[in-house]
């Protein structure tokens, strides 16, 4: 890589490419990485001899593992170097497949968090809290985590920055949480499954559970929570909900487990998930729907 200068130049180009892809300005990224914008500009220009500790701060601010910032040596003709060069050009789907193959080949078993998915009113918070208590894990409302890291509400994120920014922020927050936080039960946002890379990340790193329900029960539960905004002055609200559920159903169905909360009580739903997880979630849970009978779910 033509010595130190060549490496620093390639490193700067890599950091700039990741920053631009994330939609970050130099000022904003520098503030998040706790360095000066001038120093970050010097790094991107290939003139900043950054320490490993500073590089880790930049990687954390970008929501990337530090190894993603290191450029591959172009003159490395070793097998490992050639593989690394190929990896740099891989799409997320390719990396997902490679990760699954390597994990299976090395028989690597990692304790996973449990991600609950579904449209609002599915019971993610109610069931999630009880499931977390049952397994001795933390419970996380992912939307609240996004708001806390952004410092503003979801409504303000969309209004000020738009959906594209939100999706990038959502993915970065999820990556940081899954890679750096203890195992937990996560109640995801209803639309997370529509973000392909984030949904692929969650399916790869978590046990995923779709809490399924009929449209009328989603509707009644949201009203029971005291929120009638989606229905006010909108006579077509129920039809829109049905279309939303039908559109997202193929995505939710990619989950490892499906629990129909229209046919099971809260306690029964938790029991089903715990039973299928087995050994506190260390075993695989398969791709199947759990149960069809039982009492109707009683969710707020």
CATH number of residue 46's parent domain = 1.10.260.40
Residue range of the domain that includes 74: 3-89
Domain boundary among the residues 30, 57, 89 is at 89
Residue 203 resides in a domain: yes
Maximum pairwise Cα distance, the chain: 70
pLDDT at 235: 65
CATH number of residue 147's parent domain = 3.40.50.300
162 and 30, same domain (yes or no): no
pLDDT at 108: 61
- The count of other CB atoms within 10 Å of the CB of residue 107 is 6
Question: What are the structure tokens assigned to 123, written together?
Answer: 């019971």
Residue 164 resides in a domain: yes
Residue 107 resides in a domain: no
Distances (CA, A) of 287 to 89, 97, 181, 257, 290: 31, 17, 26, 5, 10
Dihedrals phi, psi of 186, to nearest 5 degrees: -115, 125
225 and 126, same domain (yes or no): yes
Residue 12 resides in a domain: yes
Q: List, for the chain, all residue ranges whose pLDDT scores fall below the cut of 50.
A: 1, 280-300
Residue 103 resides in a domain: no
Dihedrals phi, psi of 182, to nearest 5 degrees: -65, 160
Distances (CA, A) of 98 to 72, 80, 106: 19, 15, 12
Query: What CA–CA distance (Å, rounded) separates 6 from 280?
Result: 49
Domain boundary among the residues 89, 104, 130 is at 89
82 and 127, same domain (yes or no): no
141 and 277, same domain (yes or no): yes
128 and 174, same domain (yes or no): yes
63 and 120, same domain (yes or no): no
Q: Let me know if 257 is exposed, middle or buried by CB neighbors in 10 A (0-12, 13-18, 19+).
A: buried
Residue 121 resides in a domain: yes
128 and 85, same domain (yes or no): no
Residue 298 resides in a domain: no
36 and 130, same domain (yes or no): no
pLDDT at 292: 38
pLDDT at 273: 94
DSSP3 helix / strand / coil % (the chain, rounded to 5): 60, 10, 35
Number of domains in the chain: 2
140 and 280, same domain (yes or no): yes
200 and 67, same domain (yes or no): no
pLDDT at 233: 61
pLDDT at 144: 93
Residue 152 resides in a domain: yes
> What pTM was computed for the model?
0.64
Report helix, strand or coil for 143: helix
Question: What are the structure tokens assigned to 163, written together?
Answer: 């959906």
């Amino acid at each position: 890589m033509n010595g130190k200068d060549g490496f620093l130049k390639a490193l700067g180009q890599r950091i700039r490419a990741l920053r631009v892809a994330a939609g970050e300005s130099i000022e904003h990224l520098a503030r998040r990485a706790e360095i000066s914008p001038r120093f970050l500009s010097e790094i991107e220009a290939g003139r900043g001899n950054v320490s490993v500790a500073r590089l880790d701060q930049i990687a954390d601010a970008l929501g990337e593992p530090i190894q993603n910032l290191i450029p591959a040596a172009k003159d490395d003709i070793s097998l490992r170097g050639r593989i690394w060069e190929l990896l740099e050009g891989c799409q997320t789907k390719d990396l997902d497949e490679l990760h699954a193959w390597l994990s299976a080949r090395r028989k690597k078993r990692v304790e996973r968090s449990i991600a609950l998915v579904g449209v609002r009113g599915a019971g993610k918070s109610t069931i999630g809290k009880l499931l977390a208590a049952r397994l001795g894990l933390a419970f996380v409302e992912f939307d609240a985590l996004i708001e806390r890291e952004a410092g503003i509400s979801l409504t303000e994120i969309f209004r000020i920055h738009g959906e594209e920014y939100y999706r990038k922020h959502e993915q970065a927050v999820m990556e940081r949480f899954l890679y750096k936080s203890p195992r937990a039960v996560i109640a995801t946002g209803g639309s997370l499954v529509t973000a392909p890379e984030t949904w692929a990340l969650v399916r790869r790193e978590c046990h995923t559970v779709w809490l399924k329900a009929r449209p009328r029960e989603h509707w009644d539960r949201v009203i029971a929570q005291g929120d009638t905004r989606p229905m006010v002055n909108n006579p077509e609200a129920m039809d829109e909900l049905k279309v939303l559920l039908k559109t997202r159903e193929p995505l939710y169905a990619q989950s490892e487990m499906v629990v129909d909360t229209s046919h099971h009580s809260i306690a029964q739903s938790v029991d089903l998930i715990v039973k299928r997880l087995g050994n506190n979630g260390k075993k695989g849970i398969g791709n199947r729907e759990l149960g069809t009978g039982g009492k109707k779910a009683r969710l707020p």
